[in-house]
């Protein structure tokens, strides 16, 4: 069993207030990623979802998300 690792980000910022989901470079891949009330505040949520899958989530990892705005994944350019 691998040790439990936790990266907690509140209001889109880490404790040093320098965290940005769009530019973040995380130190490892995670087995569980949970986002609540985040995607509706991201300019390009599809790109963030791809980045989570490709860069941050381990091969056997699970991703959970909740957004209050279900239409957020629609193309905003239309």
Q: Is the pLDDT of residue 21 over 80?
A: no
Q: HEC string of the chain?
A: CCCCCCCCCECCECCCCCCCCCCCCCCCCEEEEEEECCHHHCCCHHHHHHHHHHHHEEEEEEEEEECCCHHHHCCCCC
CA 25 remoteness from chain centre: 12
pTM of the model: 0.66
Tell me the pLDDT band of 5, cut-offs 50, 70 and 90: low
Tell me the pLDDT band of 20, cut-offs 50, 70 and 90: confident
pLDDT digits (tens, 9 = 90+) for 55-75: 999 999 999 988 776 665 565
């Amino acid at each position: 069993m691998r040790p439990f690792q936790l990266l907690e980000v509140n209001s889109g910022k880490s404790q040093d207030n320098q965290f940005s989901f769009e530019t973040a470079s995380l130190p490892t891949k995670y087995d569980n990623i949970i986002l609540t009330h985040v995607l509706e505040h991201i300019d390009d949520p599809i790109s963030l979802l791809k980045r989570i899958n490709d860069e941050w989530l381990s091969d056997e990892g699970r991703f959970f998300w909740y957004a209050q705005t279900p239409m957020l994944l629609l193309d905003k350019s239309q």
